Amino acid sequence: MRTSGSEFSVQRSRGVSILVAVALVLAGVLVGGSASVAAAAGVERTPPFVAEPDAPRPDGSCGFRTIITASWADSFVEKVLTGRSNGISLFTYEYSFYNEYADPNTGALLFTARGKAKVKDTKARPLGGGLFEITTKETGTFVMVKDARGAVKGHDSGARTYKFVIDEDGNFVRLVSEKFPGPPSTSMCKIVGSFLGRTGSSERLTAYPLESGKGVPLGYYEYLPPGYSENGEPKPLLLFFHGYGGSGDGSAQQLPAVINGGAIPAYINTDIWPADRPFVVLAPQHDPIEDPDEPYICPEEFNGTCAMFEQHLRDNPEGGSPCTRPQEVEAFLEYAVDKYNVDPTRVYLTGLSCGAYGVWEALPLLGGQIAAAVPIAGEGRPAWNSSGCAMRIASLWAFHGDADNVVKPEGSTDTVADLQVCPADGQELRITEYVGVDHNSWDLAYTETGEADIFDWMLDQTTG
């Protein structure tokens, strides 16, 4: 799948720090950039961008609702090489930020986060055949978190080194190595969870990689709520399906991408998930197993929609599906209901982006098995074109940002409009479209909808 500038492409460079990738995308450049950027050897500099705070806006990136006022400053220097690496660009990128997070109800400050770091390409080594090995170093304070009184609660700082291969046009080819000396990296949300968290939810999160010997159909994470037992009261079941960035082969090494991909598994891992949410939460990992002989050729804009239509057209093949397959959803649901002590009348599906596509695609297969589905920023039109009203099998609440340039908003809005004509046996059908929100509409959907708490809404839906 040849794409760039989106969840699909940035996350394909999985070994390269997401912080590095996102920072450089914000700067409008790529690590080890293209020779086409400059016409002749030399150095090009951009002046530092003067930070001005954005207008306060809702934020749910840590799994609970806040109001963020954010400021960002950055600059970069591009150096085009001569000699054996003629035309290859190396970048030095510097950035700083300062964010304030406030209680949306009272306006009171909850915490602040700041950071200042440099990302520098230090070497380009020709490998032959039009390939180059780039060495990149990232140094600085990546994030420092203070509470409302100004006390430092945690930080992530140090130095990181990445080596990866690009082609002569600057396209990422493969990761060679990454080194993170010093203490393990800590996310802002993990720090916040240590002093604002409501539970020790991370202690109840367990990984089951494929090699665990448990007969699992996919590697997955398990969260068991307080009070769960094999012989006690059955609990509601919530299956979460990640986006493309959470993909992996289900091994112990790659399974953490499910957490790093954000949303529900990340909220649980950062001790933000409330103890009174009664769900057994299972988050399986999809392996794209991309077919090198039949790559997905998609444009930069709406490449997610392109890939999802193409995957559906290919009948969701086991090898060569970048997004969750409906067969995986069906098989994992069967496994979960059989293995766990859950209430079969309160089974729920949710997914974001590629995971939402899998949820849409699976609906025609699951009649009577689920009470509600919540697809977010996914493409439902392929499933509608093939299955029509066979998709109307449960209550459904879809979410999308109207500024999404990865998956077209019509993937949700048109699908819900089409489903309106289908017979419904008391099932609810909702759509929420966030104005001015890009592909990441899930942080708002899971934390702040303006209509109802999405998890309470799920629990109101049953098949009984």
- Mean pLDDT computed over 402-421: 97
* Residues, the chain: 464
**What does each C-alpha distance from 112 to 100, 185, 360 come to in angstroms?**
5, 19, 38
**Is 301 exposed, middle or buried, given 0-12, 13-18 or 19+ CB atoms closer than 10 A?**
middle
Among 162, 186, 210, the domain boundary falls at: 186
Assess if residue 1 is contained within a domain.
Answer: no
Assess if residue 123 is contained within a domain.
Answer: yes
| 171 plus 204 within the same structural domain | no
**Is 190 exposed, middle or buried, given 0-12, 13-18 or 19+ CB atoms closer than 10 A?**
buried
For 368-398, the pLDDT digits (tens) are 999 999 999 999 999 999 999 999 999 999 9
Q: Taking the CB of residue 55, how many other CB atoms lie within 10 A of it?
A: 6
| 178 plus 276 within the same structural domain | no
| 180 plus 142 within the same structural domain | yes
pLDDT band at 122 (very low <50, low <70, confident <90, very high): very high
Among 133, 158, 186, the domain boundary falls at: 186
| 278 plus 376 within the same structural domain | yes
| 133 plus 36 within the same structural domain | yes
For 129-157, the pLDDT digits (tens) are 999 999 999 999 999 999 999 999 999 99
Residue among 115, 63, 119, 8 at smallest CA distance from 405:
8
| 449 plus 392 within the same structural domain | yes
For 184-233, the pLDDT digits (tens) are 888 899 999 999 987 789 999 999 999 876 678 899 999 999 999 999 99
Among 155, 186, 217, the domain boundary falls at: 186
| 138 plus 82 within the same structural domain | yes
**Is 298 exposed, middle or buried, given 0-12, 13-18 or 19+ CB atoms closer than 10 A?**
buried
Assess if residue 360 is contained within a domain.
Answer: yes
Domain count, the chain: 2
Assess if residue 359 is contained within a domain.
Answer: yes
**The domain spanning residue 389 has which CATH number?**
3.40.50.1820
Q: Is the pLDDT of residue 428 over 70?
A: yes
User: Of all helices (H) and strands (E), which one includes residue 414?
Assistant: helix 410-419
Expressed as residue numbers, the domain containing 404 is 197-460
Q: Which residues contact 390 (CB under 8 A, 6 or more apart)?
A: 363, 364, 367
Q: Which residues contact 162 (CB under 8 A, 6 or more apart)?
A: 15, 16, 17, 20, 31, 135, 136, 137, 138, 175, 177, 178, 179
Can you give the pLDDT at residue 184? 81
| 101 plus 211 within the same structural domain | no
| 124 plus 224 within the same structural domain | no
